[in-house]
C-alpha cells in the first residue's frame, strides 16, 4: 500500500482535534525560498506534496505512533534528490541524506513518487542534461516540506555544451561558453561546433559534410562525391574531398574532356583544389583555349599552379605574358615558386610598373614569394598605390611570411592613408601570422578608431574587453576577420566573435564559420 493510501486509511481513525493540531502546525511552516520563476516552480512542487506529507503522514505519525517512536523524533529529516523531466515526469528519486529511520525515508520517497507528475519546468531551473535536479528536505519539525532547492548538476564543459545544443538550448550553451575561462573556451567552442553541425538543417547537408571534412571527419565523403559528379556546389564539394585526400580527377575527368560549357568550367574549378597528372592535359587545353570564358581560363591557371610540372610552368609563363590583365595576374602568381632565381626577380621587378593594378599587385606578391624578407624594401611604392587590389595582393602574401621587415610593412599599410580594404587585409595578414613582430603590431590595433580593426587587435586583451570588441552591433559582417583570427593565434578572440554574433547569422554562414574553426582544430570526443 502506498503512503497516500496508508495515510488516507489511517486518517479516518485520527481524532479531529489531532488533525486540527496538525493543520495548525503546518500553517507555521516557513515559506519556500527562491526568486522569480524558480520560486513559482518550487512552490508548485511543494503544493503538490504538502497535503500528503504535512497534513497526512506527519499528522498520522503524531496521532497513531508513540511519541518516542523513531518517526516522531523532532529532529528527524531526510534529504531526497529528485530528477524531473522538463515536462514534469519523475525520472528518479533517491535518498541523498538519510534521516536515520528507514520508515521515515521510505515514506518520503513514496510521497514524492505518488504525487508525480509535477509542473512544467522553466528554463532557469534546467541542468545541463535538460532535466531538473531538486534537493528536497522533508522534516518532522516545523520545516515540514518547505525545504526545496534546485541543484545545478553541471557536466564538464565540452559534454555540457554538446548536451545543451542537442536539446536546442543553444542560447544557454553560448552563455556557458562566454562565462567560461580562457583555458576551457577553445575546447568548449569546438564541442559547440560539432554539436551544432549534428543538428544542422537537412538542406545544409552538403555544406555540413564539407565542414566536417575540414576537421578530418570522412562521414560525408559519399555525399560530396555525388555532388561533385553532378556539378552541385562544386567548390564546396571539391574543397571537402581535397581535405580528405580523395582524388578529384576521376570524379570530373569526363566533364573536363567534354564539350566547352558550364560542366567543363565546373570541372576545372574543382581541380583548383587538387590537380594530378591524369587531368593535366585537360586543364592545359582549357588554359590555352582562347575561345573559352576568361573565368575558366583563370580557374585553369590556378589549378596549374598546384602541380609541379614543366608543361604547367611553361603554360603559366605564357599566360602571364599575354591575355587580359586578370588572367595575367592569376598566372603570374600561380607560376611563382620560392627561390625562383635572379632572372625571375628581374622580370617581376619590371612588372611593378605594369599599367594594370592587378598585375602590379601579383608581381609584388610574387617578388615577396620569390625573395622573402629581402624583397620588402623593393616595394616602397606600395604605400602610394591608390588601387586597393594592389595592397590586398601584397598583404595576403605578407601574411605567409615571418620576420621584422614584412611585419613592419604590414604595420605601415594598416596605419597608412590607404583604402580601408587594404588596412583590413593588412590587419588580417597580421592576425594569421604567429611571429612575435606581427603579434606585437596586431595588439597595437586594440585602440584603433575602426571597430573591425579593434576586433582584429583584441587578441591580447582580457576576456571582458575581447567580448566587447567582438559584440559590435554590425560585427556580423566581419566573417573574413573572424576567419583570419581562427586560423592564427587569436582563436579566443575568434570564438568571442562567433558566440556574440551567432544569433545574427543565417544557417549557411553558421556552417561556414564552423568549418573555418574546425579546420584548425582536432575533433572532440563525441
Assign residue 143 the CATH number of its domain.
3.30.1150
Closest residue by Cα to residue 189 from 497, 487, 504, 507: 497
Between residues 20 and 294, the one the model is more confident about: 294
Say which DSSP state 303 is in.
H
Asked if the model's pLDDT at residue 376 lies above 50, the reply is yes
Mean pLDDT across 237-243: 91
Q: What is the mean pLDDT of residues 94-100?
A: 97
What pLDDT is attached to residue 311? 96
Average pLDDT over residues 347-352: 88
Residue 370 in domain = no
pLDDT at position 217 = 84
pLDDT band at 379 (very low <50, low <70, confident <90, very high): confident
Higher pLDDT, 520 or 70: 70
Mean pLDDT (the chain) is: 90
- Above pLDDT 90, what percent of the chain? 76
- What pLDDT does 297 receive? 95
Cis peptide before 117, with omega less than 30 degrees from 0?
Answer: yes
What is the rounded CA–CA span in Å between residue 54 and residue 21?
11
What is the pLDDT averaged over residues 451-477?
93
367 in Cβ contact with 379 (< 8 Å): yes
| Mean pLDDT to the nearest integer, 29-47 | 96
pLDDT at 17 over 60: no
What was the pLDDT predicted at 522? 58
Task: Output the pLDDT for position 80.
Answer: 98
28: which residues sit within 8 A by CB, 6+ positions away?
Answer: 142
Nearest 5°: CA angle at 212, between 210 and 218?
90
Give the span between the Cα atoms of 426 and 481, in whole angstroms. 11
Task: Kindly indicate the confidence band of residue 70, based on its pLDDT and cuts at 50, 70 and 90.
Answer: very high
> Residue 50, Cα to own-chain centre: how many angstroms?
46
Q: Are 383 and 353 in contact (CB under 8 A)?
A: no
469 lies in some domain: no
pLDDT digits (tens, 9 = 90+) for 305-347: 999 999 999 999 999 998 899 999 999 999 998 877 677 788 8
Share of the chain above pLDDT 70, in %: 93
Let me know if residue 28 belongs to a domain.
Answer: yes
At residue 461, the 3 state secondary structure works out as coil
Domain for residue 117, yes or no? yes
Q: Kindly tell me if the per-residue pLDDT of 398 is higher than 70.
A: yes
Query: Taking residues 233-259, what's their average pLDDT?
Result: 92
What average pLDDT does range 394-407 have in this prediction?
95
With cut-offs at 50, 70 and 90, classify the pLDDT of residue 218. confident
Does 238 have pLDDT greater than 70?
yes
Output Rg (C-alpha) for the chain, integer angstroms: 34
The string over 381-415, giving b where at least 16 C-beta atoms fall within 10 Å of a residue's C-beta and e elsewhere, is ebeebeebbbbbbbbbbbbebbbeebbebbbebbb
Asked, for residue 126, whether it belongs to a domain, the answer is yes
The answer to whether 163 touches 155, Cβ cutoff 8 Å, is: yes
Instruction: Specify the range with the lowest mean pLDDT, choosing from 5-9, 99-103, 277-281, 405-409.
Output: 5-9
Q: How sure is the predictor about 6, in pLDDT bands with cuts at 50, 70 and 90?
A: very low
At 205, the pLDDT band (50, 70, 90 cuts) reads confident
Helix axes 404-415, 420-432, angle to 10 degrees: 150
Query: How much is the pLDDT for 22?
Result: 38
pTM, 2 dp:
0.84
Q: Has residue 128 been placed in a domain?
A: yes
Q: Does the pLDDT value for residue 260 go beyond 90? A: no
Domain hosting residue 129, numbered range: 3-154
Residue 233 lies in a domain: no
Question: How far does CA 294 lie from the centroid of its chain?
Answer: 37
What total of structural domains would you count in the chain? 1
Is 302 inside any structural domain? Answer: no
Amino acid at each position: 500500500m502506498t503512503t497516500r493510501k496508508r495515510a488516507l486509511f489511517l486518517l479516518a481513525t485520527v481524532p479531529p482535534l489531532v488533525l486540527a493540531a496538525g493543520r495548525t502546525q503546518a500553517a507555521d511552516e516557513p515559506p519556500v525560498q527562491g526568486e522569480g520563476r524558480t520560486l513559482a516552480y518550487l512552490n508548485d512542487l511543494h503544493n503538490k506534496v504538502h497535503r500528503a506529507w504535512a497534513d497526512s503522514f506527519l499528522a498520522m505519525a503524531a496521532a497513531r505512533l508513540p511519541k518516542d517512536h523513531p518517526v516522531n523524533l523532532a529532529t528527524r529529516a531526510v534529504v531526497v534528490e529528485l530528477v524531473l523531466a522538463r515536462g514534469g515526469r519523475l525520472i528518479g528519486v533517491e535518498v541523498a541524506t538519510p534521516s536515520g529511520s528507514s520508515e521515515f525515508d521510505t515514506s518520503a520517497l513514496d510521497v514524492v513518487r505518488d504525487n508525480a507528475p509535477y509542473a512544467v519546468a522553466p528554463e532557469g531551473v534546467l541542468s545541463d542534461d535538460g532535466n531538473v535536479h531538486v534537493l528536497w528536505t522533508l522534516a518532522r519539525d516545523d520545516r515540514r516540506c518547505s525545504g526545496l532547492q534546485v541543484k545545478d548538476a553541471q557536466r564538464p564543459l565540452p559534454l555540457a555544451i554538446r548536451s545543451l545544443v542537442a536539446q536546442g538550448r543553444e542560447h544557454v550553451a553560448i552563455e556557458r561558453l562566454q562565462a567560461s575561462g580562457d583555458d576551457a573556451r577553445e575546447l568548449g567552442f569546438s564541442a559547440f561546433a560539432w554539436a551544432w553541425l549534428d543538428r544542422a538543417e537537412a538542406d545544409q547537408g552538403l555544406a555540413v559534410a564539407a565542414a566536417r571534412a575540414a576537421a578530418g571527419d570522412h562521414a560525408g565523403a559519399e555525399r560530396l562525391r555525388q555532388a561533385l559528379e553532378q556539378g552541385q556546389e562544386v567548390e564546396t564539394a571539391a574543397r571537402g574531398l581535397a581535405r580528405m585526400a580523395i582524388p578529384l580527377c576521376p570524379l570530373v575527368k569526363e566533364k573536363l574532356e567534354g564539350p566547352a560549357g558550364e560542366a567543363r568550367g565546373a570541372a576545372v574549378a574543382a581541380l583548383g583544389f587538387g590537380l594530378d597528372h591524369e587531368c593535366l592535359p585537360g586543364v592545359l587545353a582549357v588554359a590555352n583555349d582562347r575561345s573559352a570564358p576568361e573565368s575558366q581560363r583563370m580557374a585553369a591557371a590556378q589549378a596549374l599552379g598546384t602541380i609541379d610540372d614543366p608543361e604547367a610552368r611553361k603554360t603559366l609563363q605564357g599566360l602571364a605574358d599575354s591575355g587580359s590583365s586578370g588572367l595575367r595576374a592569376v598566372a603570374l602568381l600561380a607560376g611563382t615558386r620560392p627561390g625562383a632565381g635572379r632572372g625571375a626577380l628581374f622580370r617581376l621587378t619590371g612588372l611593378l610598373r605594369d599599367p594594370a593594378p592587378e598585375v602590379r599587385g601579383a608581381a609584388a606578391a610574387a617578388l615577396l614569394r620569390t625573395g622573402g624578407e629581402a624583397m620588402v624594401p623593393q616595394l616602397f611604392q606600395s604605400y602610394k598605390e591608390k588601387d586597393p587590389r594592389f595592397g590586398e595582393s601584397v598583404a595576403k602574401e605578407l601574411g605567409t611570411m615571418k620576420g621584422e621587415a614584412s611585419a613592419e610593412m604590414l604595420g605601415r599599410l594598416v596605419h597608412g592613408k590607404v583604402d580601408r580594404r587594404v588596412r583590413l587585409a593588412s590587419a588580417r595578414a597580421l592576425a594569421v601570422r604567429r611571429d612575435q613582430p606581427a603579434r606585437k603590431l596586431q595588439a597595437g590595433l586594440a585602440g584603433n578608431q575602426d571597430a573591425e580593426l579593434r576586433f582584429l587587435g583584441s587578441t591580447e586583451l582580457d576576456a571582458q574587453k575581447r567580448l566587447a570588441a567582438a559584440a559590435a552591433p554590425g560585427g556580423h559582417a566581419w566573417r573574413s576577420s573572424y576567419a583570419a583570427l581562427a586560423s592564427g593565434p587569436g582563436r579566443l578572440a575568434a570564438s568571442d566573435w562567433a558566440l556574440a554574433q551567432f544569433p545574427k547569422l543565417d544557417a549557411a554562414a553558421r556552417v561556414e564559420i564552423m568549418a573555418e574553426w574546425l579546420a584548425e582544430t582536432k575533433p572532440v570526443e563525441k
